[in-house]
């Protein structure tokens, strides 16, 4: 049996650049940064005091008031993005199709804020004051659970936890389920809300975060000589995937066709990537092989591009290995994390949406703050200004702690 073709027909975004596609895409193509001082807690004593917060997000606009306190913020974000995506796609769950519609929404860290805050309560006020909702508010798979319960989606329901590759793995896994005929429609993506004392302190202790506190909007600067670590961010990106036949039959908006999915493992280090880029390159090569697309046909890569000294150099080497030196020189690459910061487990979901929009709209987002290029990072990173360019194929890369890698490959639908 031949695999069924899969397309993206719904998108939902909650990000530091705004809520919903229109404001986020406008901010992205204008090269606007969503980074600012941390307001979720007093960061005075912390080495990193800036982040990409979703300012203006009101959980009560997305979740019933009685349920808000039963859920961690990462769940609020995930449910909101899923609602936006589901409404965007125009489908309805019925008694006939309910078992064919599923959900895979993951998170890299999940309810760490809830875990931290309930630990504070345990220490200060004793075990009897722990919230009865503590466990379900911290479990990562509960976003998928909440979404499925809200809409009555009875198909495959699970979650992905692969650090910063989570969102991409969730979408790729959902694509596979539809290709194999195990579901007809899937909501998939990632959500994260880890801007809390424990996470910011922990990432700073690992020397992963920027210390450019006096220049928030210029702090995330992938491939720039002055990069010194990533900027943590929060939000969610969720998409609706369905069969091409279904989408065409109902006249749905198609953002992009999902044609390739690659995975690999570095088997090298718990936090650092394989320095020669070979693990990430194998992941990109796997996606191209899956899609039966030659390297010279890749027009754009939405890079992982976290703004870390090692990671950005590694990804440059990986692109050259996967595409070959000549094709690597021609492909256009950008890191939208220069504007959103790093959404950790949500990054892959958000950036898959950015990649699809780049294909559909013929506009490639820039890498901002690239003013002093690292000579060892010598490819076309679309510096500082968006580029009008119609392309056929685009990849989105996501790499996570533990050496876990995911690449999604999409095709412009026309």
User: Does the residue 210 lie in any domain?
Assistant: yes
Q: Which residues contact 145 (CB under 8 A, 6 or more apart)?
A: 157
Indicate if 342 belongs to the active site.
yes
CA distance 331 to 274: 22
* pLDDT score of 1: 46
CA distance 115 to 129: 14
| 169 and 276 inside one domain | no
User: Does the residue 140 lie in any domain?
Assistant: yes
Q: Is residue 125 classed exposed, middle or buried when 0-12, 13-18 and 19+ CB atoms within 10 A define those classes?
A: exposed
Strand segments (E) across 30-87: 36-37, 50-51
Task: Identify the active-site residue in 76, 146, 304, 313.
Answer: 304
> Residue 234 has which token pair?
């929060």
Q: Is 239 helix (H, G, I), strand (E, B) or coil?
A: strand
* pLDDT score of 2: 65
pTM summary value:
0.98
Indicate if 169 belongs to the active site.
no
Domain count, the chain: 2
Q: Which domain holds residue 276?
A: 261-411
| 233 and 286 inside one domain | no
CA distance 333 to 53: 25
User: Does the residue 255 lie in any domain?
Assistant: no
Which of 249, 279, 296 corresponds to the end of one domain?
249
* pLDDT score of 3: 84
Q: Are 98 and 153 in contact (CB under 8 A)?
A: yes
Find, among 274, 265, 117, the residue nearest to 194 by Cα. 117
List average pLDDT for each run of 10 residues in the chain, which is 414 residues long. 88 98 98 98 97 97 94 98 98 97 98 96 97 96 97 97 98 98 98 98 96 98 98 98 97 98 97 94 98 98 97 98 98 98 98 98 98 97 98 98 97 95
Q: Are 32 and 269 in contact (CB under 8 A)?
A: no
Task: Identify the active-site residue in 164, 196, 283, 377.
Answer: 164
User: Does the residue 17 lie in any domain?
Assistant: yes
What single DSSP character describes residue 402? T
Q: Is 237 helix (H, G, I), strand (E, B) or coil?
A: strand
| 191 and 309 inside one domain | no
Indicate if 158 belongs to the active site.
no
Q: Quick one: which H or E segment has residue 325? A: helix 325-330
User: Does the residue 256 lie in any domain?
Assistant: no
CA distance 379 to 84: 35
CA distance 345 to 163: 5
Q: Are 124 and 225 in contact (CB under 8 A)?
A: no
| 238 and 286 inside one domain | no
Q: What length does the chain have?
A: 414
Find, among 222, 205, 231, 196, the residue nearest to 50 by Cα. 231
Angle between helices 347-361 and 21-29 (to 10 degrees): 80
Q: Are 120 and 198 in contact (CB under 8 A)?
A: no
User: Does the residue 181 lie in any domain?
Assistant: yes
CA distance 291 to 410: 9
Task: Identify the active-site residue in 146, 169, 313, 342.
Answer: 342
């Amino acid at each position: 049996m031949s695999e069924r073709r899969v397309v993206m027909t719904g998108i939902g975004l909650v990000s530091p650049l705004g809520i919903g596609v229109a404001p986020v895409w406008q901010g992205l193509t204008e090269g606007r940064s969503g980074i600012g001082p941390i307001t979720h807690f007093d960061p005075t004593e912390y080495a990193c005091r800036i982040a990409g917060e979703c300012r203006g997000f009101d959980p009560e606009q997305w979740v019933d008031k009685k349920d808000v306190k039963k859920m961690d913020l990462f769940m609020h974000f995930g449910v909101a993005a899923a609602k936006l995506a589901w409404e965007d796609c125009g489908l309805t769950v019925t008694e006939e199709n309910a078992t064919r519609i599923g959900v895979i929404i993951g998170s890299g860290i999940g309810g760490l804020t809830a875990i931290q805050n309930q630990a504070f309560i345990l220490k200060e006020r004793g075990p009897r004051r722990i919230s009865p909702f503590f466990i379900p508010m911290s479990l990562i798979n509960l976003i998928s659970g909440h979404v499925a319960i809200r809409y009555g989606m009875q198909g495959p329901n699970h979650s992905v936890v692969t650090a910063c590759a989570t969102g991409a793995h969730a979408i790729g896994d959902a694509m596979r389920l539809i290709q194999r005929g195990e579901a007809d429609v899937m909501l998939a993506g990632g959500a994260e809300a880890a801007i809390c004392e424990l996470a910011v302190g922990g990432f700073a202790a690992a020397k992963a975060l920027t210390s450019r506190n006096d220049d928030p909007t210029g702090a995330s600067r992938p491939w720039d000589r002055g990069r010194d670590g990533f900027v943590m961010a929060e939000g969610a990106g969720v998409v609706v995937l369905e069969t091409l036949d279904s989408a065409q039959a109902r006249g749905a908006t198609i953002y992009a066709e999902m044609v390739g999915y690659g995975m690999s493992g570095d088997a090298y280090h718990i936090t650092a990537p394989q320095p020669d880029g070979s693990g990430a390159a194998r992941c990109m090569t796997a996606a191209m092989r899956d899609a039966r697309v030659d390297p010279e046909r890749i027009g754009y890569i939405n890079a992982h591009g976290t703004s870390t000294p090692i990671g950005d150099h590694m990804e440059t080497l990986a692109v050259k290995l996967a595409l070959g030196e000549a094709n690597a020189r021609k492909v256009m690459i950008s890191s939208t994390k220069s504007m959103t910061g790093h959404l950790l487990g949500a990054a892959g979901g958000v950036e898959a949406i950015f990649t699809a929009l780049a294909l559909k709209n013929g506009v490639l987002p820039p890498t901002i703050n690239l003013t002093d290029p690292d000579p060892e990072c010598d490819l076309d990173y679309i510096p500082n200004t968006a580029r009008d360019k119609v392309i056929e194929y685009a990849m989105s890369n996501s790499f996570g702690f533990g050496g876990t890698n995911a690449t999604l490959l999409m095709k412009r639908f026309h």
